[in-house]
């Protein structure tokens, strides 16, 4: 085992400037993840040529793969940097920002489009108020297990980064938002606005933009059955189209 | 009066609960957060949320929950707030269920509950092992709905720097720092709520997230707000070692039957599965037959320390013990603990369904925080209309969640933090609105100069930071500070070491001035912001360390062996109630008590007389030649509902 690790990092100083690659060589320490190496770099911010440079910047928070913050492209694959253990990665290790979102700086991107998508699909339960209205409805264990899996989505962006249909030029909502629509459509009171959600998903950028590549489900760090969600929403949308025809 | 609004800083459970409730009551909210609120630290809470719903028919009740909470906190919590919180806990769980939290269910379809530390009841509702994440998402969704309706405005990627105070010292806004553009501006707000979480990063690596620097609450302290019980830092018994952070291994692992053990033979090099049952030391079960592996966290962390350091029985000679779940089926474990077992497996490469986990204690939670007020009713609950609730000692500046010092006394019970966060956010809201509506003058109607002066002061501060051109790397200096705190202000505290640590912190403060600002660009540059946070962490470490140095006793998480009152093994806490009653009635019959017990009870009473008090730290500016720092005083605790008594868990 080498006593150093080399990182090749795709950097970009501002949102408008051009990206460039910079290499960093740091001492190898067992049991490191990508984040702890980035932390090491900022305690001695020098590139491999020995030039003092601005420390690399990245997004992170929980460091235990539940906040979704530190998603980036590591050795060509989208992943959370916290759970990317360097002992399991080929060297040198390349780090790039996600490509489907505008770059802010270095490894930081702007994922606000994903949160806007949650607004569009109305990913919430409509409540009469937050005072004491007694218990909620009972629910079977089997339905809870399906819903719980869907509700683990942390809006990290892996699914849309891997999706060939999701580009910076179109307005596809993406697998994460479609799966959230499914989650709320199956909730006792969340389903009260199913029709509004499906209306959005029938429009441009909705369910028909999915090309069925199935990359999303492959890269989801929480193993959320995203393709099942897309299929289920597809069925709900088809049902609604038929209902609309018969109503007309 | 001009249009009014409330500024909520922080988008974790407390901040979102407050934003949601205030919006429901019709007041505009400006929500300021370091990052998209969905990524807040509350997502890290795993095991569950407490509420005496009594679904298992065990006879649990809010009053027993209240008693467990107060006892767990070693009687240092103000009791009316605890009582009101515990009495509203079942409603809060029902509310979160209505809002779509995917809680685990019983076969009949009711909410399922599990056991947690410091109680004998199944009182913890849970959503797998990601309960904090699920609760946060439900509140995030409600707030997003209000955002669409225009009642809540979000400013994410902004950091709170300080309060804007008018000539009367009243808070009329907040100075915030745009983390993209670097712009610093003063926002107008009729009340400001700091729901900014805990300060785990003062200890470098902890179970806390990267935003948990405590910088916002420390800024309030530096502006004159009182800080309460700073020395009470919870060490969680079970975490997974890591170079970047210490990942939490939830108490729910023990709530679901996980057993803590070490090999009986020191330095045993066998694989844990090859060590036969009789050669395993289940030390918590042996030492605490009643609560076993579910003793409160302060007790658990101390016992692990004792086993590893004093007894030398740590796994492979290190500060580690086994947490064993391998007696359960993988199906059971996946359904009830899936999330945390996946985390363990991802970060260590070992499958905890097959091999016992290796865990160790880590800094987890601050019971202390900004001092906040409340108004009790005559029946020992809380008057929800009072503007005092959760108000700091700066008028108009409020605190909620881990940022405040209430509810948990000297030690927090597991699964009470999610409760206290949501509870404070909801409870305080009517009072905050009453405060705002009864102001003589809206923030909007203040002279612009008040806001310009505040923003200019911070612009100058950051301009000075940008010019720093010394030889210290801020991130390396932070590691040194953390090392001191971890070594000397953790589970076992000694005055000589605490004194030396204070000297060391003063040294760090001088060295801070010799930092180099590694990056001076004005776009998405975290360095100046971190340098400012580091200054605040140095100030807060003084509060924690000085508070610990001065408190010469053993209470909750604050353990000084020198001042251990040494409870006799056969002592029962009820005896103390009889002793107190006789004293109060003026007919103490000393001969009726075991003499060792009597001597202990006298020591206990005398110690409470002196130390059953809230530590208050107030910032005092330095005089010429010396730096500013905390001045410590003490304040009485409201123990009007449950009389203090010795804790016992075995």
Residues A93 and A212 in one domain: no
Is the pLDDT confidence value at A245 over 60?
Answer: yes
Q: Residues 105 to 164 of A: which have CB under 8 A from any B CB?
A: 105, 108, 111-112, 115, 118-119, 122-127, 129-130, 132-136, 138-141, 144-145, 147-148, 151-152, 154-155
Q: Which domain holds residue A51?
A: 4-109
In this complex, how many residue pairs, one in chain A and one in chain B, have their CB atoms less than 8 Å apart? 186
Residue B565's Cβ-side half-sphere holds a number of Cα atoms within 13 Å equal to: 25
pLDDT above 70 covers what percent of chain A? 99
Q: Which residues pair with B173 in a beta bridge?
A: B164, B188
Of B35, B103, B248, the CB nearest to A61: B35
Q: A3: left (phi > 0), else alpha (psi -120 to 50), else beta?
A: alpha
- Please tell me what DSSP assigns to residue B412: P
φ and ψ of B262, to 5 deg: -135, 160
φ and ψ of B159, to 5 deg: -110, 135
- CB of B215 closer than 8 Å to CB of B198: no
Average pLDDT, chain A: 97
Name the nearest CA neighbour of A105 among A18, A206, A208, A24. Answer: A18
Interface check B247 vs A, CB under 8 A:
yes
Give tens-digit pLDDT for B187-226.
999 999 999 999 999 999 999 999 999 999 999 999 999 9
Residue of B nearest to A184 (CA): B100
What pLDDT was estimated at residue A157? 98
Of A66, A112, A123, the CB nearest to B43: A66
Q: Which of A63, A106, A133, A143 to mutate to test the interface with B (most CBs of B within 10 A)?
A: A63
CATH code for the domain in which residue A90 is found: 3.10.20.30
Residues A117 and A196 in one domain: yes
pLDDT above 70 covers what percent of chain B? 100
What pLDDT was estimated at residue B629? 96
Give tens-digit pLDDT for B35-59.
999 999 999 999 999 999 999 999 9
What pLDDT was estimated at residue B626? 76
Distance CA B427, CA B51 (A): 16
- Please tell me what DSSP assigns to residue B593: S
Q: How many residues does chain B have?
A: 650
CA distances from B272 to A116, B26, B242, B252, B357 (A): 50, 59, 21, 22, 10
> DSSP of B305-374, one letter per residue?
HIIIIIS--SGGGSS-EEEE-TTS-HHHHHHHHHHHHHHHHHHHS--TTTS-EEEEEEEEEES-EE--B-
Give tens-digit pLDDT for B459-484.
999 999 999 999 999 999 999 999 99
- CB of B77 closer than 8 Å to CB of B371: no
**ipTM score of complex:** 0.98
**Three-state secondary structure call for residue A42:** helix
Q: Where are the alpha helices (DSSP H) in B192-320?
A: 215-222, 252-255, 283-287, 297-305
Residues of B with catalytic roles: 297
B105 to chain A, closest Cα gap in Å? 5
Mean pLDDT of B54-68: 97
Interface check B278 vs A, CB under 8 A:
no
What pLDDT was estimated at residue A2? 77
Confidence of residue A246 (pLDDT cuts 50, 70, 90): confident
The domains of chain B, with CATH numbers, are: 5-232+367-450 (3.50.50.60), 243-360 (3.90.700.10)
Residues A154 and A58 in one domain: no
Is the pLDDT confidence value at B24 over 90?
Answer: yes
Residues A235 and A142 in one domain: yes
The answer to whether the Cβ–Cβ distance between A63 and B245 falls below 8 Å is yes
Sheet holding B613-620, edge to edge: B369-370, B227-228, B613-620, B629-636
What pLDDT was estimated at residue A1? 56
What pLDDT was estimated at residue B622? 83
Residues A84 and A119 in one domain: no
Give tens-digit pLDDT for B488-514.
999 999 999 999 999 999 999 999 999
Sheet holding B171-178, edge to edge: B158-165, B171-178, B184-188
A86 to chain B, closest Cα gap in Å? 11
Number of neighbouring beta carbons within 10 Å of residue B554: 21
What pLDDT was estimated at residue B60? 98
Give tens-digit pLDDT for A186-205.
999 999 999 999 999 999 99
Interface check B36 vs A, CB under 8 A:
yes
Residues A60 and A85 in one domain: yes
Residues A156 and A211 in one domain: yes
pLDDT above 90 covers what percent of chain A? 96
The answer to whether the Cβ–Cβ distance between A130 and B20 falls below 8 Å is yes
Residues A151 and A100 in one domain: no
Mean pLDDT of B591-597: 96
Give tens-digit pLDDT for B399-443.
999 999 999 999 999 999 999 999 999 999 999 999 999 999 999
Residue-wise burial string across B525-553, b where 16 or more C-beta atoms lie within 10 A, e elsewhere: bbbbbbbbbbbbbbbbbbbbbbbbbebeb
Q: Which of B21, B102, B107, B238 to mutate to test the interface with A (most CBs of A within 10 A)?
A: B102
Residue of A nearest to B135 (CA): A151
Is the pLDDT confidence value at B650 over 90?
Answer: no
Write the CB contacts of B42 (distance below 8 Å, at least 6 apart in sequence).
B12, B13, B132, B133, B135, B136, B418, B421
Please list every residue in chain A whose beta carbon sits closer than 8 Å to the beta carbon of residue B524. 14, 57, 104-105, 108
CATH code for the domain in which residue A142 is found: 1.10.1060.10
Write the CB contacts of B377 (distance below 8 Å, at least 6 apart in sequence).
B80, B383
B584 to chain A, closest Cα gap in Å? 42
Residues A83 and A119 in one domain: no
- CB of B421 closer than 8 Å to CB of B92: no
The answer to whether the Cβ–Cβ distance between A67 and B20 falls below 8 Å is no
pTM of the prediction? 0.97
Q: Which of B33, B143, B346, B521 to mutate to test the interface with A (most CBs of A within 10 A)?
A: B346
**For residue B419, what are its two tokens?**
């409760």
Of B100, B147, B243, the CB nearest to A29: B243
Q: A234: left (phi > 0), else alpha (psi -120 to 50), else beta?
A: alpha
> DSSP of B124-185, one letter per residue?
EE-STT-HHHHHHHHHHHHHHHHHHTTSEEEEESEEEEEEEE-TTS-EEEEEEEETTT--EE
Residues A15 and A82 in one domain: yes
What pLDDT was estimated at residue B426? 98
**For residue B255, what are its two tokens?**
């709530």
Please list every residue in chain B whose beta carbon sits closer than 8 Å to the beta carbon of residue A146. none
The answer to whether the Cβ–Cβ distance between B105 and A36 falls below 8 Å is no
Interface check B349 vs A, CB under 8 A:
yes
Distance CA B362, CA B245 (A): 10
Interface check B346 vs A, CB under 8 A:
yes
Residues A154 and A220 in one domain: yes
Is the pLDDT confidence value at B624 over 80?
Answer: no
Distance CA A29, CA B185 (A): 42
Residue of A nearest to B472 (CA): A43
Residues A38 and A121 in one domain: no
Number of structural domains in chain A: 2
Q: Which helix (H) or strand (E) holds A11?
A: strand A4-11
Q: Residues 64 to 83 of A: which have CB under 8 A from any B CB?
A: 64-69, 82-83
Distance CA B475, CA B471 (A): 12
Residue of A nearest to B147 (CA): A119
Q: Which of A66, A70, A104, A156 to mutate to test the interface with B (most CBs of B within 10 A)?
A: A66
What pLDDT was estimated at residue B38? 98
pLDDT above 90 covers what percent of chain B? 97
**For residue B606, what are its two tokens?**
């005398």
Please list every residue in chain A whose beta carbon sits closer than 8 Å to the beta carbon of residue B95. 130, 132-133
Q: Residues 70 to 109 of B: which have CB under 8 A from any A CB?
A: 91, 94-95, 97-109
Q: How many residues does chain A have?
A: 248
φ and ψ of A93, to 5 deg: -95, 125
What pLDDT was estimated at residue B393? 98
State the angle between helix axes of A141-151 and B131-148 in degrees (0 to 180), rounded to the nearest 10.
70
Name the nearest CA neighbour of B297 among B234, B254, B246. Answer: B234
What pLDDT was estimated at residue B1? 74
Mean pLDDT of B505-525: 97
Distance CA A42, CA A64 (A): 21
């Amino acid at each position: 085992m080498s006593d150093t690790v080399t990182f090749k990092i795709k950097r970009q100083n501002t949102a408008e400037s051009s990206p460039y690659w910079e290499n960093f060589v740091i001492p190898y320490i067992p049991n490191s993840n990508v984040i702890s190496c980035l932390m090491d770099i900022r305690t001695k911010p020098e590139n491999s040529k020995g030039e003092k440079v601005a420390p690399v910047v990245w997004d992170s928070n929980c460091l235990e793969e539940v906040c979704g913050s530190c998603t980036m492209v590591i050795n060509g694959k989208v992943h959370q940097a916290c759970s990317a253990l360097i002992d399991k990665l080929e060297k040198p290790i390349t780090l790039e920002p996600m490509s489907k979102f505008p770059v802010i700086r270095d490894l930081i991107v702007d994922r606000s489009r994903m949160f806007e998508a949650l607004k569009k699909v109305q990913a919430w339960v409509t409540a009469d108020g937050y005072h004491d209205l007694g218990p909620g409805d009972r629910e079977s264990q089997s339905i809870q297990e399906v819903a719980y899996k869907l509700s683990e989505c942390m809006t990290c962006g892996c699914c849309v980064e891997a999706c060939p249909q999701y580009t910076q030029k179109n307005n596809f909502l993406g697998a994460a938002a479609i799966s959230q629509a499914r989650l709320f459509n199956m909730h006792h009171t969340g389903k009260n606005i199913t029709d509004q959600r499906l209306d959005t998903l029938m429009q441009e950028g909705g369910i028909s933009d999915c090309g069925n590549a199935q990359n999303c489900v492959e890269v989801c760090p929480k193993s959320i059955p995203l393709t099942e969600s897309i299929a289920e929403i597809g069925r709900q949308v088809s049902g609604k189209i038929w209902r609309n025809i018969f109503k007309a | 009066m001009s249009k009014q609004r409330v500024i909520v800083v922080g988008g974790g459970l407390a901040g979102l609960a407050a934003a949601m409730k205030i919006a429901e009551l019709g007041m505009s909210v400006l929500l300021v957060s370091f990052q998209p609120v969905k990524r807040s630290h509350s997502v890290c809470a795993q095991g569950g949320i407490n509420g005496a719903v009594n679904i298992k028919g065990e006879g649990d009740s809010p009053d027993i929950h209240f008693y467990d909470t107060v006892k767990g906190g070693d009687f240092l919590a103000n009791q009316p707030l605890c009582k009101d919180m515990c009495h509203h806990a079942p409603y809060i769980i029902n509310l979160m269920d209505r809002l779509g939290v995917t809680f685990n269910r019983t076969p009949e379809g009711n909410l399922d509950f599990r056991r947690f530390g410091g109680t004998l009841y199944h009182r913890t509702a849970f959503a797998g092992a990601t309960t904090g994440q699920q609760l946060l998402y439900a509140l995030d969704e409600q707030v997003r709905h209000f955002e669409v309706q225009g009642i809540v405005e979000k400013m994410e990627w902004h950091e709170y720097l300080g309060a804007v105070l008018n000539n009367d010292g009243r808070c009329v806004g907040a100075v915030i720092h745009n983390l993209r553009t670097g712009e610093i501006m003063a926002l107008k707000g009729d009340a400001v709520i700091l729901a900014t979480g805990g300060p785990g990063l003062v200890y470098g690596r902890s179970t806390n997230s990267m935003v948990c620097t405590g910088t916002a609450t420390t800024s309030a302290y530096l502006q004159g707000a009182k800080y309460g019980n700073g020395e009470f830092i919870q060490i969680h018994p079970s975490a997974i070692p890591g170079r970047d952070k210490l990942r939490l291994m939830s108490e729910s692992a023990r709530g679901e039957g996980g057993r803590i053990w070490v090999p009986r033979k020191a330095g045993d090099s066998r694989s844990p599965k090859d060590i036969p049952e009789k050669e395993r030391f289940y030390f918590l079960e042996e030492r605490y037959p009643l609560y076993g592996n579910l003793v409160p966290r302060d007790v658990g962390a101390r016992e692990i320390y004792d086993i590893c350091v004093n007894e030398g029985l740590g796994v492979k000679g290190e500060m580690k013990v086994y947490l064993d779940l391998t007696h359960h089926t993988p199906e059971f474990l996946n359904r009830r603990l899936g999330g945390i077992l996946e985390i363990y497996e991802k970060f260590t490469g070992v499958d905890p369904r097959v091999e016992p986990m290796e865990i160790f204690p880590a800094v987890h939670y601050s019971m202390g925080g900004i001092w906040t007020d409340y108004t009790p009713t005559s029946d020992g609950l809380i008057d929800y209309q009072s503007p005092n609730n959760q108000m700091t000692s700066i008028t108009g500046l409020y605190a909620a969640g881990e940022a405040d010092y209430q509810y948990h006394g000297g030690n927090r019970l597991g699964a009470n933090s999610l409760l206290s966060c949501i509870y404070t956010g909801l409870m305080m809201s009517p009072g905050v609105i009453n405060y705002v509506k009864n102001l003589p003058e809206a923030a909007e109607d203040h002279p612009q100069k008040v806001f310009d002066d505040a923003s200019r002061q911070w612009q100058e501060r950051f301009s000075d930071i940008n010019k720093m051109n010394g030889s210290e790397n801020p991130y390396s200096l932070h590691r040194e500070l953390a090392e001191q705190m971890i070594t000397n202000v953790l589970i076992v505290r000694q005055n000589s070491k605490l004194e030396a640590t204070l000297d060391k912190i003063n040294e760090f403060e001088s060295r801070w001035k010799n930092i180099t600002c590694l990056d001076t660009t004005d776009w998405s540059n975290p360095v100046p912001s971190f340098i400012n946070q580091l200054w605040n962490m140095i100030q807060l470490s003084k509060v924690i360390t000085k508070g610990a140095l001065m408190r010469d006793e053993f209470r909750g998480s604050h353990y000084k062996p020198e001042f251990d009152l040494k409870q006799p093994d056969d002592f029962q806490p009820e005896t103390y109630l009889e002793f107190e009653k006789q004293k109060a009635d003026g007919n103490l019959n000393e001969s009726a008590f075991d003499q060792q017990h009597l001597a202990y009870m006298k020591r206990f009473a005398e110690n409470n007389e002196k130390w059953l008090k809230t530590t208050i730290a107030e910032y005092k500016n330095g005089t010429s030649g010396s730096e500013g720092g905390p001045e410590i005083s003490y304040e009485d605790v409201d123990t009007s509902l449950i009389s203090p008594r010795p804790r016992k868990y075995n």
